[in-house]
Amino acid sequence: MLTEVTRRKTFAIISHPDAGKTTLTEKLLLYGGAIRLAGTVKGRKVNKYATSDWMEIEKQRGISVTSSVLNFDYNGYRINILDTPGHQDFSEDTYRTLTAADSAVMLIDGAKGVEEQTKKLFHVCRMRKIPIFTFVNKLDRYCKNPFDLMDEIEKTLGIRSCPVNWPIGEDGAYKGVYNRKLAQIELFESEGHGQKIITSHAGSVQDERFKSLLGEHIYNKLCEDIELLDMAGEEFDMQKVLSGELTPLFFGSAMTNFGVQPFLEEFISIAPSPGTRKHTDGFTAPEDSDFSGFVFKIQANMDLAHRDRIAFIRICSGKYEKGIEVHHTRTKKSVRLSQSQQFMAQERVFIEEAYAGDIIGVFDPGIFHIGDTLYGGKKSFNFEGIPMFPAEHFAYVSAKDASKRKQFLKGIQQIAEEGAIQVFKQPNIGVETLMIGVAGVLQFEVLEYRLKNEYHVDITMQVSPYVLARWLVTKKSPEEISVYSGSISVVEDQYQRPVMLFKDPWTLNKAVESNKDVAFLDIAPPVVK
């Protein structure tokens, strides 16, 4: 059991949009032997798309709108990659996915440095105490000075960095990397536009052959950089990495495969394996014999031919075996997990066994919710919940064709259960028109697309003026709460919890000041049966 757990490496890749996250994911699959040819979202002349993007709208738009789970074996390790949406409009999905990761790879555009969405995702990782490894991407173009990037990471994110390798060259004319651990130069040849594994030449920095290959100016600059790093740079300390004080730093280009293999090999050798997980009755160690896990993602219609719904489970301890019977904490019922799968985007393989750290997908007949705990022992417990944050954009949505009402409600319910949207309605009023809340406006476009293509329902959508939502915890009735009535609306979410919507921050602040006995929560309270 311990051997299987130790060889698991489960990590999420996070970044600002367009930093190259999906491309890096794909190149890791290429070097891991999971695919033979990398198709890139940039390739307009060939009918290819990113391997990790499975939803049709992702292929059309060239962006990731939902997290994808991919796994492969490499050098004796079992690699589980959680490829997350970079666009801030889908950040809610990323936050949930990070709960299933043991570490995170933070991708930074070498020319742009630390961007806004990167900051947000970094702070979520820090809040969840997830170790962070940094890959500075796009060295095939002009990039900021590597020392300036290190300084920016420290000043912007408050974390020191320790370069594991160092770029050789300058201003986009990089020829390779210096591996500090092995004290050797690794030069790369650019061929095939990054679709195939590239060849490299490695050797000691003292080898005169590299002096002539690099040219005296670049060679001398590299020697000066190495000396400066050794004298003034941060030393690698795994305890500091695990505590969030230090991030190992790698340089490369995912598009051209520059430095990808050295990153993969070094990362899996130092990234943490599955660790202990906290729950309501204490802690669970990954090598514990009893099975346990939690649902962190639900996805409907991954296979349109079968209209299936898959619950993604992060295994926290024990061993999954086909047909295992587990307890479902929320419903207090036994559930048999008989058809578990692992994924390469929408491609799936049925599996007989899996261990702590693995991500499995199980068929969901509608019984699972995001955050549900499953366990195989005698003690009942719940893993720490997955937070639900308030929506920031709202719209009234209804089916254009009244005869499609049943399909409309089914689609809305399933997409809401995935966590992609939040559904609100006014108490004691019909559901011909629903108010939908989302984290970002692009989610409205995805909602409209999915309802049309997956449920065959065309919708009308009217934007609402509300911009803030807060869950209410109070003994008062909504009518007794002192507010400026023209700027608020009281609704219920899909779990019948009271929610107050506001048109501006000023009205929210006034409501908070005027109602000291009311809690206005920006993280949803537990669902009460």
Phi, psi of 248 (to 5 degrees): -65, 140
Tell me the whole-structure pTM to 2 decimals: 0.80
Q: Look at residue 78 and tell me if it is in a domain.
A: no
CATH of the domain at 35: 3.40.50.300
> DSSP readout, 128-154?
TT--EEEEEE-TTS----HHHHHHHHH
Of the candidates 374, 290, 301, 361, the residue with the CA atom closest to the CA atom of residue 333: 374
Cα–Cα distance for residue pair 385/372, rounded to 1 Å: 8
Q: Look at residue 527 and tell me if it is in a domain.
A: no
Contact 223, 214 (CB under 8 A): no
Which residues lie closer than 8 Å to 296 by C-beta, 6 or more apart?
96, 97, 99, 100, 312, 313, 314, 370, 371, 386
Q: Which of 270, 302, 333 is the last residue of a domain?
A: 270
Q: Which of 326, 341, 375 is the last residue of a domain?
A: 375
Contact 461, 444 (CB under 8 A): yes
CA 353 from centre of chain: 24
CA 222 from centre of chain: 35
Helices (H), 345-441: 405-417
CATH of the domain at 281: 2.40.30.10
Helices (H), 330-460: 405-417, 442-454
Query: The tokens of 411 are what?
Result: 């689609």
Q: Which pLDDT belongs to residue 419?
A: 82
Q: Which pLDDT belongs to residue 48?
A: 41
Task: Answer yes or no: do 147 and 45 share one domain.
Answer: yes
Q: Look at residue 74 and tell me if it is in a domain.
A: no
Task: Answer yes or no: do 366 and 478 share one domain.
Answer: no
CB atoms within 10 A of CB 400: 10
Q: Look at residue 310 and tell me if it is in a domain.
A: yes
- For residue 361, the enclosing domain spans 277-375
Q: What crossing angle do the helices spanning 146-157 and 116-127 adopt, rounded to 10°?
A: 60
Task: Answer yes or no: do 266 and 327 share one domain.
Answer: no
Task: Answer yes or no: do 58 and 30 share one domain.
Answer: yes
Q: Which of 270, 301, 335 is the last residue of a domain?
A: 270
Query: The tokens of 417 are what?
Result: 């259960």
Query: The tokens of 104 are what?
Result: 């995170």
Q: Where are the beta strands (DSSP E) in 130-215?
A: 132-137, 160-163, 165-168, 176-179, 184-188, 200-204
Total number of domains constituting the chain: 3
Of the candidates 245, 229, 146, 137, the residue with the CA atom closest to the CA atom of residue 181: 229
Q: Look at residue 526 and tell me if it is in a domain.
A: no
Q: Which pLDDT belongs to residue 196?
A: 55
Q: What crossing angle do the helices spanning 260-270 and 21-31 adopt, rounded to 10°?
A: 80
3-state SS class at 217? helix
Rg over CA atoms, the chain: 25
CATH of the domain at 407: 3.30.70.3280
Task: Answer yes or no: do 104 and 220 share one domain.
Answer: yes
Query: The tokens of 106 are what?
Result: 């933070």
Q: Which pLDDT belongs to residue 122?
A: 84
Task: Answer yes or no: do 334 and 452 share one domain.
Answer: no
Task: Answer yes or no: do 441 and 476 share one domain.
Answer: yes
Cα–Cα distance for residue pair 58/39, rounded to 1 Å: 14
Q: Which pLDDT belongs to residue 528?
A: 59
Contact 110, 19 (CB under 8 A): no
Task: Answer yes or no: do 229 and 335 share one domain.
Answer: no
Q: Look at residue 458 and tell me if it is in a domain.
A: yes
Task: Answer yes or no: do 483 and 504 share one domain.
Answer: yes
Per-residue pLDDT of the chain (529 residues; tens, 9 = 90+): 999 999 999 999 888 777 788 788 888 888 877 665 544 333 333 334 444 444 454 444 444 434 467 888 899 999 998 876 644 544 667 778 888 999 999 999 998 998 877 887 787 788 778 999 999 999 888 889 999 999 999 999 999 999 999 998 877 678 888 888 888 888 776 655 455 554 555 666 666 667 777 778 888 888 899 889 988 888 999 999 999 899 999 999 888 888 888 899 999 999 999 999 999 989 999 999 999 999 988 887 766 555 678 888 999 999 999 899 999 999 999 999 877 777 654 567 788 899 999 999 888 888 898 889 999 988 889 998 777 888 889 999 999 999 999 999 999 998 888 888 999 988 766 667 899 999 888 889 889 988 998 899 999 999 999 999 999 998 888 778 877 767 788 899 988 899 999 999 999 999 999 899 999 998 888 775 5
Task: Answer yes or no: do 236 and 288 share one domain.
Answer: no
Q: Look at residue 37 and tell me if it is in a domain.
A: yes
Task: Answer yes or no: do 253 and 282 share one domain.
Answer: no
Contact 497, 423 (CB under 8 A): no
Cα–Cα distance for residue pair 209/191, rounded to 1 Å: 22
User: In angstroms, what CA-CA distances link 243 with 129, 131, 157?
Assistant: 7, 7, 15
3-state SS class at 112? coil
Report the first-to-last Cα separation within the chain, whole angstroms: 37
Task: Answer yes or no: do 139 and 188 share one domain.
Answer: yes
Q: Look at residue 80 and tell me if it is in a domain.
A: no
